[in-house]
Structure 1
Amino acid sequence: MQRRHMLGAMAALASSAYLGKGHAQGAGGNVPLHVVVPFPPGGGTDVLGRAIGYRLEKLLGRPVVVENKPGASGIVGAEYVAKSDRDGNTLLFSGLVPSVRYYSRPLSQIGAELSPVCMIARSPYLVAVNPGVPAKTLGEFVQLAKSRPGTLTFGSPGNATPQHLATERFRSQAGIDILHVPYRGTGPMMTDLLGGQIQLVFATVAAAEQHVKSGRLRALAVTSADRMDRLPDVPTVAEAGIPDFVAEIAFGTYVAAGTAAAAIGGLNRAINQALTDAEVRGKLIEQGFIPVGGAPADLEKSLLAEVKAVSELVRSGKVRIDAA
């Protein structure tokens, strides 16, 4: 309820800033807002970028163009935005950490290239396997992996992406040796999982649920602290035998560092208002996302916490930074 009240208050502020005379000129007039998704179409980031982008077009009274710029685990899209004009007209939609290189940098350097705008949403993962895998539960998968070390594979949208890091944590806690296959995004990863080229993924609910319900994939667990109402028969990873394991992916928006605070504030207010829209919230919740919102400082705080939490995993050599 507190979150709902907060977003409602932000919506009221946004209305006064954007729905009055001249709001379109303040937001860039007829200059398009370019929403950059650093992964191919079909993944969770793409779903969020298009859902929010569509609503921003109406709120800002200006064209919104969604562009997919995949490559190098999000680095290509992040660099594109970082090098764009500092006018607030290019907006990055990304996982909480917008570039895998953030993990190897001192916390004092975070934000040197990109400035946070607004948290968008969070989502737990579904731990899913191809039905050809002879494991009906997560415990059975762990035993299978232990009996065949180094032969089973797991996919991710790219090295050092949140999905990769979550699976590495699981692999370490379960004490299993499974091989990582990085892709250029969630879409290609899911295609190969469905085709049996890889065996396991940690995927967003948006990417995996439809295939689980159709029987084309088998869900072994969900990474949230509690079972999901929409998938009540799927146990948590902790219930399946990995104590205290919780993982989720968070999504945020960023602009080039040095963008004026007024431009960042305007985008933040519009995004928060978009997140109060019943149609947008319904679409996000339908896809398994939990709408969040908040101030730029909230996203920055979460960003720093995530980098600090997982940087040791990167420094230990279990995750490569210079990945394609």
Structure 2
Amino acid sequence: MKDRLVIRRREVLAGVAASCMGFALPSLGQDRQFPKRSVRFVVPFAPGGAADVATRPLAKELEPVWKQPVLVDNRPGGLFMIGLQAALQAPADGHTLMYLTNSMAAVQAVHKQYDLSRQLIPVTQTVSFPMVMLVPGNSPFKTVKDLVAYAREHPNKLRYSSVGVGSTEHLKTAEFQKAARFEADHIPYKSGPDMVMGLLSAQVDLTLTAANFAYTYAPKGQVRVLAVLGSQRIKEMPDVPTLRETGFDVSPFNFWSGYAVKAGTPASAVQQIYQDLATAAVTPFMNETLAGLGMSPAVSKSPDAFAKLIADELAWAMEQAKGIDPAS
């Protein structure tokens, strides 16, 4: 999504090397001002989900660079507020980084409990990964058109899940419903893994979620992948069509994730963190690790570019959130 704002491994390495040779060659004597102690990544999702598995290998890659422990602090719940409050209670010095993803912008549009642009300074996107449409493995729906035909004939009988009211999964499914002209019953869960467990147990009929869950459960026949939400098919599932290929005009979409620091963090620290994250996110280790999870590195061209990505995501979410009751 928004490919103009991200650059891949070769471009990242060239650009970062040109701008931060002292980082690439610390033996030349650069006096690094960051970090001075352990660094914490606050992840507002439960362990085991896409957010968690994208952060832990990055933390591992950064420890030898920063020469400090890099901790992953999972703080799920409260529509991201538990994690956000933990990050905002820390000093504005860069030693606490907040994990950000599409869903945080989406939830802000519906619940308005926080203001990412005021409370945080975006640093960079680091990862992109596909969203897919899943149904249970024993579902009668073999195609998207099968599902839509049933949903039109049985209003509000189809059950779909998300990780909460106003989440990206919720708003994207709402967009799909509008395009396909049907009504369905929304079942919110507390986390991505919980949401998928609901699908596996057939408590719900439909889930839009990260592709890494499909890679885990589709080969076992526990879920069926009906469509990819991105602009093109993905190599891991070449026979699965994009949603637009099935005839429904829904805007292409990929999940993204990245990191921010508390507002007030010195600009020099923000730039150092950007350079370090941009380099660590595209190492061979990260490429290999993320590929195994169905993800790929995607680094913002600058902190300002990441801020623009978040603003664009919020604008989309505000449009989709019209008419959604936060208490529903």
TM-score where L is the length of structure 1 = 0.90
Equivalent in 124, 127, 131 of residue 130 of structure 2? 124
What RMSD in Å do the two structures reach over aligned CA positions?
Answer: 2.3
Distance 1:170 1:236, change over 3 A: same
* Counterpart Cα distance in 1 of 2:82 and 2:169: 18
Equivalent in 284, 301, 305 of residue 298 of structure 1? 305
Q: Does 1:103 align with 2:104?
A: no
Distance 1:281 1:11, change over 3 A: farther
Distance 1:222 1:117, change over 3 A: same
What does residue range 1-324 of structure 1 map to in structure 2 within 5 Å? 3-12=8-17, 13-14=19-20, 16-17=22-23, 19-20=25-26, 26-29=33-36, 31-96=37-102, 98=104, 100=106, 102-103=108-109, 110-243=116-249, 245-294=251-300, 295-314=302-321, 316-318=322-324, 320=326
Instruction: Check whether the contact 2:286–2:297 (CA below 8 A) recurs between aligned residues.
Output: no
Q: Which moved more, 1:13-22 or 1:110-119?
A: 13-22
Distance 1:179 1:19, change over 3 A: farther
Instruction: Kindly provide the amino acid, as one letter, of the partner of residue 42 in structure 1.
Output: G
* Counterpart Cα distance in 1 of 2:217 and 2:111: 38
* Counterpart Cα distance in 2 of 1:115 and 1:204: 26
1:216 to partner: Cα distance: 0.7
1:133 to partner: Cα distance: 2.2
Instruction: Check whether the contact 2:104–2:167 (CA below 8 A) recurs between aligned residues.
Output: no
TM-score where L is the length of structure 2 = 0.89
C-alpha distance after superposition, 1:44-96 (max 9, x if no partner) = 11111112111111221110110110012322212221232101111111214
Instruction: Kindly provide the amino acid, as one letter, of the partner of residue 13 in structure 2.
Output: G
- Where in structure 1 do 4 or more consecutive aligned residues deviate above 6 Å? none
* Counterpart Cα distance in 1 of 2:60 and 2:184: 40
1:192 to partner: Cα distance: 1.4
What percentage of aligned pairs have identical amino acids?
27
* Counterpart Cα distance in 2 of 1:115 and 1:179: 37
Instruction: Check whether the contact 1:74–1:100 (CA below 8 A) recurs between aligned residues.
Output: no
Q: 5+ unaligned residues in a row in structure 2: which ranges?
A: 1-5
C-alpha distance after superposition, 1:126-151 (max 9, x if no partner) = 10011232111111011111222112
1:269 to partner: Cα distance: 0.8
* Counterpart Cα distance in 1 of 2:49 and 2:190: 11
* Counterpart Cα distance in 2 of 1:101 and 1:231: 30
* Counterpart Cα distance in 2 of 1:80 and 1:100: 20
Instruction: Check whether the contact 2:22–2:30 (CA below 8 A) recurs between aligned residues.
Output: no
C-alpha distance after superposition, 1:277-316 (max 9, x if no partner) = 10101211232223111211111011111111221222x2
Instruction: Kindly provide the amino acid, as one letter, of the partner of residue 306 in structure 2.
Output: L
* Counterpart Cα distance in 1 of 2:7 and 2:181: 40
Instruction: Check whether the contact 1:35–1:67 (CA below 8 A) recurs between aligned residues.
Output: yes
Distance 1:58 1:24, change over 3 A: farther
* Counterpart Cα distance in 2 of 1:20 and 1:172: 54
Instruction: Kindly provide the amino acid, as one letter, of the partner of residue 165 in structure 2.
Output: N
* Counterpart Cα distance in 2 of 1:105 and 1:140: 34
Q: Which moved more, 1:268-277 or 1:69-78?
A: 69-78
Distance 1:23 1:127, change over 3 A: farther
Instruction: Find the residue that maps to 2:190 and give its secondary structure.
Output: coil
Instruction: Kindly provide the amino acid, as one letter, of the partner of residue 280 in structure 1.
Output: M
Distance 1:288 1:99, change over 3 A: same
Instruction: Find the residue that maps to 1:85 and give its secondary structure.
Output: coil
Instruction: Check whether the contact 1:128–1:217 (CA below 8 A) recurs between aligned residues.
Output: yes
1:17 to partner: Cα distance: 2.6
1:187 to partner: Cα distance: 1.1
Instruction: Kindly provide the amino acid, as one letter, of the partner of residue 288 in structure 1.
Output: G
Instruction: Find the residue that maps to 2:122 and give its secondary structure.
Output: strand
* Counterpart Cα distance in 1 of 2:145 and 2:111: 36
Instruction: Find the residue that maps to 1:121 and give its secondary structure.
Output: strand
